[in-house]
Chains A and B, each alone.
Chain A
Amino acid sequence: MAQFMSLHDAVARYLQDGATVAMEGFTHLIPFAAGHEIIRQEKRGLTLIRMTPDILYDQLIGAGCAEKLIFSWGGNPGVGSLHRLRDAVERGFPRKLEIFEHSHAAMACAYEAGAAGLPLAVLRGYIGSDLPKVNSQIRFIECPFTGERLAAVPAVRPDVSIVHAQRADRKGNVLVSGIVGVQKEAVLAARHSIVTVEEIVDDLQADANACVIPGWAITAIAEVKGGAAPSYAHGYYPRNNSFYKEWDAISRDRDTFNDWLQQNVYNAGGQA
């Protein structure tokens, strides 16, 4: 059964330097509070996995936490580039970032394969794309039944997956509603999982077909109100689109970024 603990303790206990970490959320329910806790604890050498590394991963990369990135679309949605990511890829600042680049379809399949305990995912993908030329994780196999050439990618098996969700009940069962992304797959694919939730309640009030991740499939749960902001939590608060736009200017300049980080992450304290 999931253990209830503070976000600080969950990150300190389960996330070691050099770990492979997936923080998911497809625009929705992005675990910002947990990412900031990782920055505050100055974790280093991480391999970060995420379909859509956006502002949160820009912050982790800019803070020097990451060594590798496995991803399929790295931008600030609706705004433009991630400047800390670009600085790391184009100029090796604050350190060189090794990237393994996929398509969304492949990443989604790779998470599913991880959750299913398989070593690889197979998809009708990457036809005619140059991506297989630059990513050794993309290979091709022949279907043993039809002979069709299909793409294969290794399953995603993170040491730790972190997601944010609306609610957990007192037994640790978690409700995810709205855009559910690959959150469930990320949790089930990982050795350890940390779920931050808006609130802990007596009754989840989940519809019959709601996405509920049972407590016995989760390692740790921490209650963090507003834990997905400036992204959003369906039914709780909207996406702060203005901050996403402001991020462009904050992240463009190394000093401006460092000041922002100092003020809003290192000095923000987090939860004990």
Chain B
Amino acid sequence: MTLQYTSSEMMTVTAARALSNGMTCFVGIGLPSEAANLARLTHAPDVTLIYESGTLQTKPDILPLSIGDGELCEQALTTVAVPEMFRYWLQGGHIDVGFLGTAQIDKYANLNTTLIGDYQSPKVRLPGGGGAPEIASNAREVFITLKHSPRAFVEAVDFITTLGYGRDGKGRDGVPNIGRGPTKVITDLCVMAPDAETRELTVVSLHPGVTQEQVREATGWPVRFADELALTPEPSAEELAILRDLKARTAEHHAKPISQEAAQ
């Protein structure tokens, strides 16, 4: 029997599978958080999730709306101050993978969450770097997940908030004490990985039913495909059930009205 699933579900399940059991993961909010928690609830029960609000080894029952939701703290092994989080745990070298989302990514996997246009007079002002600039350099490797579109996948980002491989693909060469950088980019159409030599993001796996033409149309540079292009495995019935359950209880929780006296 063929399973019915959406391209978003395909993306989340594929991103979740990128995490191995036992890994220590510094989790970004949004899509990475959804994928990391799905991994924890399926094949990677002993993945350690860390959020920049200071929550260490957390196991939220619902997905946080924001990075500092109480749920993350209540379900954590412990919660530390934010300076400790960045100085000891991240900079100290305890993070296997930084899992990030972004607004814009370019062909060398540089991330832009700062602005579209010129810095002094931006067309669109975005929230900014947050934890990402140092997560991307201090974690051993970086996974990125975002939806594929020509606006998001651009030849060169307007602003490098967070280093991928730099403007020429050589941005990490010779830099001491830096992680490997982005090793996987997971979208709703495909999985990309940096070329071993040039570091240019290359499609290594297509999701079922997706054509090369679709990926080309959604990518803002002449995208290359690996010689041995894989077909991404479909989500399992169990993964889909657990993901849908997680999203349903999250939606229900966040829609709950708060009593007036507490809300004022």
**Best-surrounded residue of A81, A179, A230, A244 (most CB of chain B within 10 A):** A179
**Closest residue on chain A to residue B257 by CB atoms:** A242
Q: Which residues of A contact B132 (CB under 8 A)?
A: 103
> Is A241 interfacial (CB-CB < 8 Å)?
yes
User: Residues of B contacting A109 with CB < 8 Å?
Assistant: 83, 86-87
- The answer to whether A241 and B65 touch (CB under 8 A), given A27-B53, A73-B130, is yes
A164 within 8 A of B: no
Q: Which residues of B contact A72 (CB under 8 A)?
A: 128-130
Contacts of A86 in B (CB 8 A): 125
A74 CB to nearest B CB, Å: 5
Contact of A178 among B65, B70, B126 (CB under 8 A): B70
Contact B81 A184 (CB under 8 A): yes
The answer on a CB contact under 8 Å between A178 and B114 is no
A181: contacting residue among B53, B69, B126, B166, CB under 8 A: B53
Tell me the residues in window 129-144 of chain B with beta carbons closer than 8 Å to chain A beta carbons.
Answer: 129-134, 137-138
A216 within 8 Å of B by Cβ?
no
Tell me the number of A-to-B contacts counted with CB atoms below 8 Å: 193
Task: Write out the residue numbers on chain A whose beta carbons fall within 8 Å of the beta carbon of B87.
Answer: 105, 108-109, 112, 123
Bound: A234/B70 CA distance, A: 7
Query: Which chain B residue shows the least CB distance to A134?
Result: B119
Give the residues from 61 to 111 in chain B that come closer than 8 angstroms, CB to CB, to chain A: 64-70, 72-73, 79-83, 85-87, 90-91, 110
Number of interface residues of A (CB under 8 A): 61
Residue in B67, B255, B261, B262 whose CB lies within 8 Å of A77: B67
A18 CB contacts on chain B under 8 angstroms: none
Instruction: Indicate whether B162 reaches chain A with its CB closer than 8 angstroms.
Output: yes
User: How big is chain B's contact interface, by range?
Assistant: 35 or more
In the complex, what residues of A have CB within 8 A of residue B1's CB?
none
Among B53, B80, B119, B131, chain A packs the most CB atoms within 10 A around the CB of B53
CA distance A77 to B72 in the complex (A): 14
Besides A127-B133, A178-B79, A238-B258, 8 other CB < 8 A contacts? A28-B53, A81-B125, A81-B127, A124-B138, A128-B172, A129-B129, A180-B79, A229-B263
Shortest Cβ-Cβ A-B pairs, 8 listed? A27-B68, A128-B163, A77-B66, A75-B127, A73-B130, A78-B65, A237-B262, A105-B134
Using a CB–CB cutoff of 8 Å, the interface residues on chain A facing chain B are: 26-28, 51-52, 71-75, 77-79, 81-82, 85-86, 89-90, 101-106, 108-109, 111-112, 123-131, 134, 148, 178-182, 184-185, 211, 226, 229-230, 232, 234, 237-244
